[in-house]
Amino acid sequence: MIGDELMPVVKEVGMARMMAYGAATWDFVRLHYDADYVRELGFEAPFVDGQMVGGFLSQLVQDWAGPDAFLRKLAFRNRVMAYPGDTLICRGIVTGVSATNEGGMVECDLWVENQRNEKVVDVASALVRFPLKADV
């Protein structure tokens, strides 16, 4: 129903998780693991890969929607850097519901906050397709 909140997903982000993500995605950009290098560039520490935050948002939606649903669209923009030691809280709310020949379509607004109440991502959107009963 419109206005329903998605159950938040909370992620503790540390260097081990960041390194594992980089290895799994073959994304070895030094900005995400080399502390000396990023300090030379003026950053306080290596920062979380923005695509990793997108993965957290995908998990938020799929955990809420269940295994039969299909995430058709996810759009987001990072607003604030996330660093090792941050706690990221992914949240969402249902903003639209419709029916099509393909199944039920649900639109959600999503966002990510850190432990300092900064919006790391604000506002993201997702479009989720729920199958017709005959498809299940």
Distance CA 20, CA 26 (A): 10
Looking at residue 2, its pLDDT comes to 96
Per-residue pLDDT of the chain (136 residues; tens, 9 = 90+): 899 999 999 999 998 888 888 888 888 888 988 899 999 999 989 999 999 999 999 999 999 999 999 999 999 999 999 999 999 999 999 999 999 988 999 999 999 999 999 999 998 999 999 998 765 5
What is the residue type of 63?
D
Q: What is residue 134's predicted lDDT score, i.e. its pLDDT?
A: 64
Label residue 92 exposed, middle or buried (CB < 10 Å: 0-12, 13-18, 19+): buried
Q: Which candidate, 52, 51, 30, places its Cα nearest to that of 41?
A: 30
Residue 87 lies in domain: 5-135
Backbone dihedral region for residue 22 (phi beyond 0: left; psi -120 to 50: alpha; all else: beta): alpha
| CATH number for the domain that contains residue 78 | 3.10.129.10
How many independent structural domains does the chain possess?
A: 1
What is the model's pLDDT at position 27? 83
